[in-house]
Structure 1
Amino acid sequence: MPVFENLLQVVSHCDTFPYTLDPSSTDEIHHAVPFTLGPYTIGNVLPSVIPHLINYNKQENNFLITSDRITFHKHINTPQKRSDVVKQLMDTWRANNTFDVLSGWRNELYPVYGDDSQPDNIAFVIERASAALFGISTFGVHLNAYTRENGQILVWIARRALTKPTWPGLLDNCVAGGISYTYSVKDTIVKECEEEASIPFEVANKARSVNVISYFTYSSGGLQPETEYIYDLKLPQDFKPKPRDGEVDCFYLWPLDKVKETLLNNEWKPNCALVMIDFMIRHSFVTPDEESDFIDISYRLHRRLEFPTPRKGN
C-alpha cells in the first residue's frame, strides 16, 4: 500500500470519485446511469450491472430502463412495493451468484430516501450488501472515544479483526456502524458501543453529536456515496473499551502524534481515517496556520452529495 506524504492524500484515498478518473477514459464509471425516483436521483448504476437488470426485467417488468435513466414502473408506487421488488431482484442475483459483492450478505436493511409523500422520506429499503450495485447513498455513525491525561488528548483506536471480510487488521475508530432501517442515529451509536467496545448504555448515552462528514468512493461492488454522523465520547481515565462481538481485535490508547503517524503510513480503513482527521481538526491538532492543505481537506471531508437525505417524521 502507498505511504502518504500529507493528510490531503489520506483524504483523497477515500474520497475518490471522480477525482482519480481520467476524463478521456472509457472506464464504465464515467457512464453510470442515474437511478431515479420522481425528480430525484437516488443512485447510479454501472454499465456492467445493467445487462443483468435488463435480463431480469424481461420477466418481471418492474423497471423502466433507458440509456439515460433507470426507474420503477409507475405501478411500483409505494415504499412497500418498491422494497418487495428490490428484495426479489437481489434474492435472485444472490441465488445465481451474479455479483461477488452479494457474498457479503448481511441480512440488514438500509433505508433509501426520496419519497416526499412519506413523513420520513423513505422510498424503500435495500439489503446493505447490495446498496453499491445501485450506487445508493448510505449513512453511518462513527464515535471517537478519548480521554485526557496531563492536558494531552489520548484517543482509543480499534484494530479490526483479521476475520473481517472488509479491511481486516486495519485501524478503525473506537466504534462505527451503518444505520439500519428503523434505527435512529443515537440509537445506533449506543447499540454499536455495547456490541463492539463493551461501553454500557449509561456511558455511551453521553456521546455528543459533533459533526457530519461525506465522501464519494467506489469499489469493485459499485459506487458508494456515504455520509457519516460523528460523535465524540470523553471516557474516564480508568475506563477501557473491550472487544465483544468479534469485529475488533484490540484497542489502543494513543496520543494524536501517534495517530497521525499511522494515518500517513496508510494503516487505517480509509473512511475511518477521514473521521480521525476531522477529530484532529476540531481539537486544534490540525490548524490552518500549520496545515497548508487545510481548506482542501475540509472541502473533501464535506462533499455535497446530490441525493435525497433523511427527514425526521412528523
Structure 2
Amino acid sequence: MPSYYKYLDLVDQVDSFPNIATHPVAFAEKTADYSRFIHQAHTIGYIIPIVLDALKDTTLSGDWWTIAPGVVSLNGDTTEERTRNIEETTRRWREAKKFEILSGWRNEKYTVYAPKSTPCFYMERCATPLFGVLTYGAHMTVYIPATPTTPMRLWVPRRAAGKQTYPGMLDNTVAGGMGDGVGPWECIVKEAGEEASFEESYVREHAKAVGFLSYFYVRHDKAGGEIGLLQPEIEYVYDMIVKPEAEGGPVPKPFDGEVDEHMLMDVEEVKTALKQMRFKPNCAAVILDFFIRHGILTNENEPDYLEIYTRIHRRFEFPTR
C-alpha cells in the first residue's frame, strides 16, 4: 500500500460506480446481474443480487413488490402505500437480522423522489444502500483565511472512535444527512450546533452556500454493513469564515458524541492527510472541491484536474429533489 495517494485515487474511492453516460461498457458489465429499481419507468435505484434474493422471499413479494427479470418496482398507488410497503419489508429484514447494515437503524426517514421533485416514498435512512437510491446531505468547511503572515487553516474534526461508520477518520467541520422535510440550509444549521457547538445565530449570519457535489459510492468495509451496497449521493456544500480564537472567533467543540476532537490544520497539513487517505471518502471529495474553488487545486498544478472536477459533479440518471 503506498504511503501517499493521488487526488484522483480519492475520487476513485467515492465515485466508484461506472457512469452510464461516460463508461457504458463498464456500466453494462457492472450491472449485468443487477436489477433496476423503477417507478413509472424511471430508474430510482439499483438492486444487487443479495437484496433481490431477499425480495424474492414469498413473504415479501406479491402485494408489496413486483419483480420481473432485471426490473423491480414497489407497489402502491400513493406515497403512503409505497412508504408502508418498504417500511414493512425493511422492518422484517431487521427483525430477522437479514442484513448487517440494518443494525444501524435510526428511525430517520429519507425521501426518495419521483420526477418533478415529487416524493415517491419515504424510507429508513440506513436501508437506502440496499436499494441503491439517491440520498442527500449537507457539508460545511469552516476556515480561517490566510493573512500576510499565516496560511489558510481549516477546522477538521476526527470522528469518534466508537462510530459504526469510518471510526477515527477525519471529517468536514460540519456534516449531516438530510432527513424527510429538512432542506440543506436547516440541516447545516442543526448539525453545526449538534456536532461543533456553533451558535445558531452565528451560523445563520456567516455560513454561505457554495454549490453541491454528486458522486456514486460503492460501500466498502469501513462504511459498516455489507460490502458492495450502492450509495449515490448529492451533498450541498457550504463555507464559513471565522476569525482566529485570539481575535474572538468561535472554536468548534464536540457536543453530541459524534466527534472526538477538532483540529486546526493548515492547507499543507490537510493535503498530507488527504494523500494518506485519512479523510472519510466523501469528506475528502468536499475538501477537493474546496481546494478547487479557492484556487489551491488548479489545472496548472494538478494533471487530473478535469477528471477530478467532473467526477465529483456527476450527472445522475435518477429523479432528484
**Aligned CA distance change for structure 1 residues 237 and 56 (closer, same or farther; 3 Å):** farther
CA contact 1:32–1:47 (8 Å) conserved in 2? yes
Task: Provide the aligned length of Structure 1 versus Structure 2.
Answer: 303
Q: C-alpha separation between the residues in 2 aligned to 1:288 and 1:115?
A: 36
| 1:223 aligned residue | 230
| Aligned with 1:279 (options 280, 290, 295) | 290
How far residue 60 of structure 1 moved from its aligned partner, in angstroms, is: 4.9
Q: C-alpha separation between the residues in 2 aligned to 1:122 and 1:3?
A: 45
CA contact 2:157–2:170 (8 Å) conserved in 1? yes
| 1:50 aligned residue | 52
1:101-250 → structure 2 map (5 Å cutoff): 101-114=101-114, 116=116, 120-151=117-148, 152-205=151-204, 206-219=206-219, 220=227, 222-238=229-245, 239-250=250-261
Structure 1 stretch displaced more, 55-64 or 240-249: 55-64
| 1:84 aligned residue | 84
Q: C-alpha separation between the residues in 2 aligned to 1:39 and 1:59?
A: 19
Q: C-alpha separation between the residues in 1 aligned to 2:35 and 2:81?
A: 22
Q: Point out where structure 2 has 5 or more consecutive residues left out of the alignment.
A: 220-226
Three-state SS of the structure 2 residue aligned to 1:275 is helix
For 1:260-299, what per-residue CA distance to the aligned partner results, in whole angstroms no more than 9, with x for missing partners?
1110011110110000010011011111111111111111
Counterpart of 1:136, as a letter, is V
Three-state SS of the structure 1 residue aligned to 2:69 is coil
CA contact 1:198–1:243 (8 Å) conserved in 2? yes
Q: C-alpha separation between the residues in 2 aligned to 1:50 and 1:290?
A: 45
How far residue 217 of structure 1 moved from its aligned partner, in angstroms, is: 1.3
For 1:148-205, what per-residue CA distance to the aligned partner results, in whole angstroms no more than 9, with x for missing partners?
2524321100100001100000000001010000111100000000000001111111
How far residue 63 of structure 1 moved from its aligned partner, in angstroms, is: 1.2
CA contact 1:28–1:46 (8 Å) conserved in 2? no
Q: C-alpha separation between the residues in 2 aligned to 1:25 and 1:297?
A: 19
Counterpart of 2:141, as a letter, is N
Q: Point out where structure 1 has 5 or more consecutive residues left out of the alignment.
A: none
Q: C-alpha separation between the residues in 1 aligned to 2:95 and 2:107?
A: 14
| 2:223 aligned residue | none
Q: Alignment RMSD, CA only? A: 2.1
Q: C-alpha separation between the residues in 1 aligned to 2:98 and 2:47?
A: 15
Structure 1 stretch displaced more, 2-11 or 35-44: 2-11
CA contact 1:161–1:168 (8 Å) conserved in 2? yes
**Aligned CA distance change for structure 1 residues 241 and 58 (closer, same or farther; 3 Å):** closer
Three-state SS of the structure 2 residue aligned to 1:48 is helix
CA contact 1:35–1:43 (8 Å) conserved in 2? yes
CA contact 1:57–1:63 (8 Å) conserved in 2? no
Q: C-alpha separation between the residues in 2 aligned to 1:93 and 1:26?
A: 29
| TM-score normalised by length of structure 1 | 0.91
1:283-294 → structure 2 map (5 Å cutoff): 283-294=294-305
Percent identity, aligned pairs only? 37
| TM-score normalised by length of structure 2 | 0.89
| 2:38 aligned residue | 36
Three-state SS of the structure 2 residue aligned to 1:36 is strand
Three-state SS of the structure 2 residue aligned to 1:216 is strand
CA contact 1:4–1:10 (8 Å) conserved in 2? no
For 1:9-60, what per-residue CA distance to the aligned partner results, in whole angstroms no more than 9, with x for missing partners?
11112111138x9x79998754210110013111111111112111145665
| 1:93 aligned residue | 93
Three-state SS of the structure 2 residue aligned to 1:172 is coil
Structure 1 stretch displaced more, 162-171 or 205-214: 205-214
